[in-house]
């Protein structure tokens, strides 16, 4: 299968989101974890932005040995010189040059013509390439650019020496069909030049960043720019962990893999959360607390018999210790037995019945029955405490799945 390069921009685009700023020491900690994860490229920052950002990029460049380290630069000579200076100690440096190509940005933000944009792209990419062996060019707001002009901009960048061409969906405007078609059209117009890599960079304003990134991969993109936990400007970037797992689970659809060590995904997610003090939403795919948690009785019974019934990948594969059977008002007796067994508690069958009824009684007033609660209720069940049988739902006729009040599916 083809290999998709993972370009992690947590330290640059991710850090630009409010509340996610990191100092140099924190960036170094995360960069080392990203290198251990196996990301191909670490975008360490925007060196011209501040002295602190310059120093952070320089520190990461000096510490990382197995991943490419990139520094962002506008298509301006001072930006590129700052990036080159910050990357001086990098084993594998990359200068990442960008310029907007949509008429909206050219006219209202940059206030330059298309001709001036092409001149800046050609001149600045050529300058960067004269000083650095690897140059990436990004056409900001590519998804809202005129297709013919966008192709012209990329052709200019490639002719000037850029070997990675990135077509960002900067404001999360595209749909998967549109974004995939964009890459097909660009590849058809420029041809598959030897050594040229197409890259996707998607934002999540409409909740489509991961879907758009995967559509780009299906259309021939072989680099994806993403962030841990999907952090980034506004609604965030495409989530690295979701893209990596999707490619791993669906090789039949994408015929592409990554070099990532998937079993380190959970650790790097938790490290970012620790550094930024921003918790991971519990329903976050792959790394959220509920990603491998099951409360519904039917689901719990299936998981106990074969985890694949309700999980597309094992929690251990992404570094989560194990799946979690949550005891709540939707749980079944099989989950109760399993949880008691994990705690080293063995009850007789009649005691299991009493304990289950006590758990259901507590679950009606509490969202989650924890281990301390369960141990106390198990002792109560052993001592003979009970509640009426008809106060809880009865067993399902098929197997031993319990159907409590409400729909457990």
Report the distance separating Cα 347 and Cα 339, nearest Å. 12
**296, 77 in Cβ contact below 8 A?**
no
pLDDT band, very low/low/confident/very high, at 338 (cuts 50, 70, 90): confident
Strands (E), 80-226: 93-100, 135-140, 164-169, 197-202, 223-226
- The yes-or-no verdict on residue 400 having pLDDT over 60 is no
Q: HEC states along 289-319?
A: CCCCEECCHHHHHHHHHCHHHCCCCCHHHHC
pLDDT of residue 283: 93
Q: Which of 329, 323, 333 is nearest to 355 (CA)?
A: 333
What mean pLDDT do residues 351-365 have? Answer: 87
What mean pLDDT do residues 345-351 have? Answer: 88
Higher pLDDT, 232 or 344: 232
- The yes-or-no verdict on residue 335 having pLDDT over 90 is no
**220, 2 in Cβ contact below 8 A?**
no
Q: Which of 48, 53, 59 is nearest to 81 (CA)?
A: 48
Angle at 233 between CA 207 and CA 110, to 5 degrees: 115
Report the distance separating Cα 103 and Cα 105, nearest Å. 5
Report the distance separating Cα 261 and Cα 229, nearest Å. 16
pLDDT of residue 402: 32
Longest distance between any two alpha carbons in the chain, whole Å: 85
- The yes-or-no verdict on residue 47 having pLDDT over 90 is yes
The answer for residues whose C-beta is within 8 angstroms of residue 177's C-beta and 6 or more apart is: 215
Angle at 326 between CA 325 and CA 331, to 5 degrees: 95
Domain with CATH 3.20.20.70 in the chain: 2-276
**pLDDT by residue (tens digit) across 306-322?**
888 888 999 899 998 87
Mean pLDDT, the chain, integer? 90
What mean pLDDT do residues 13-42 have? Answer: 95
pLDDT of residue 301: 78
Q: Indicate the pTM of the whole model.
A: 0.84
- The yes-or-no verdict on residue 396 having pLDDT over 80 is no
**pLDDT by residue (tens digit) across 23-33?**
999 999 999 99
Higher pLDDT, 372 or 96: 96
- The yes-or-no verdict on residue 202 having pLDDT over 60 is yes
pLDDT of residue 145: 98
Identify the architecture of domain 2-276 in CATH: Alpha-Beta Barrel (3.20)
pLDDT of residue 324: 67
pLDDT of residue 404: 33
- The yes-or-no verdict on residue 398 having pLDDT over 50 is no
pLDDT of residue 393: 42
What mean pLDDT do residues 50-73 have? Answer: 97
């Amino acid at each position: 299968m083809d290999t998709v390069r993972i370009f992690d921009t947590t330290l640059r685009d991710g850090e630009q989101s409010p509340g996610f700023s990191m100092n140099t020491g924190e960036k170094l900690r995360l960069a080392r974890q990203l290198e251990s994860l196996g990301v191909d490229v670490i975008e360490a920052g925007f060196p011209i932005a501040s002295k602190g950002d310059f120093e952070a990029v320089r520190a990461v460049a000096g510490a990382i040995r197995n991943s490419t380290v990139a520094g962002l630069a506008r298509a301006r000579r001072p930006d590129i010189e700052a990036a080159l200076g910050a990357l001086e100690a990098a084993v594998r440096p990359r200068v990442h040059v960008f310029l907007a190509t949509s008429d909206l940005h050219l006219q209202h933000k940059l206030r330059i013509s298309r001709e001036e944009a092409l001149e800046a792209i050609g001149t600045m990419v050529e300058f960067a390439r004269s000083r650095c062996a690897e140059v990436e060019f990004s056409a900001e707001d590519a998804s809202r650019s005129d297709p013919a002009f966008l192709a012209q901009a990329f052709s200019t960048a490639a002719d000037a020496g850029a070997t990675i061409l990135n077509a960002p969906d900067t404001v999360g405007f595209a749909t998967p069909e549109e974004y995939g078609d964009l890459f097909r059209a660009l590849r058809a117009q420029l041809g598959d030049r030897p050594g040229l890599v197409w890259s996707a960079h998607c934002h999540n304003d409409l909740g489509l960043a991961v879907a758009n990134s995967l559509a780009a991969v299906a259309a021939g993109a072989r680099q994806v720019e993403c962030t841990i936990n999907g952090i980034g400007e506004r609604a965030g970037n495409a989530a690295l962990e979701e893209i990596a797992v999707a490619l791993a689970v669906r090789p039949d659809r994408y015929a592409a893999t990554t070099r990532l060590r998937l079993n380190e995904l959970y650790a790097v997610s938790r490290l970012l959360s620790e550094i930024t003090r921003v918790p991971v939403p519990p329903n976050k795919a792959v790394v959220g607390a509920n990603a491998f948690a099951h409360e519904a009785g039917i689901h719990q019974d299936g998981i106990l018999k074969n985890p694949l019934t309700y999980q597309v990948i094992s929690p251990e594969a992404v570094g989560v210790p194990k799946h979690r059977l949550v005891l709540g008002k939707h749980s079944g007796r099989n989950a109760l037995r399993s949880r008691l067994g994990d705690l080293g508690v063995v009850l007789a069958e009649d005691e299991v019945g009493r304990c289950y009824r006590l758990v259901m009684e507590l679950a009606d007033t509490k969202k989650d029955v924890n281990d301390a609660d369960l141990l106390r209720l198990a002792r109560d069940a052993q001592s003979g405490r009970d509640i009426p049988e008809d106060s809880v739902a009865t067993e399902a006729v098929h197997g031993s799945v319990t159907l409590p009040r409400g729909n457990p599916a």
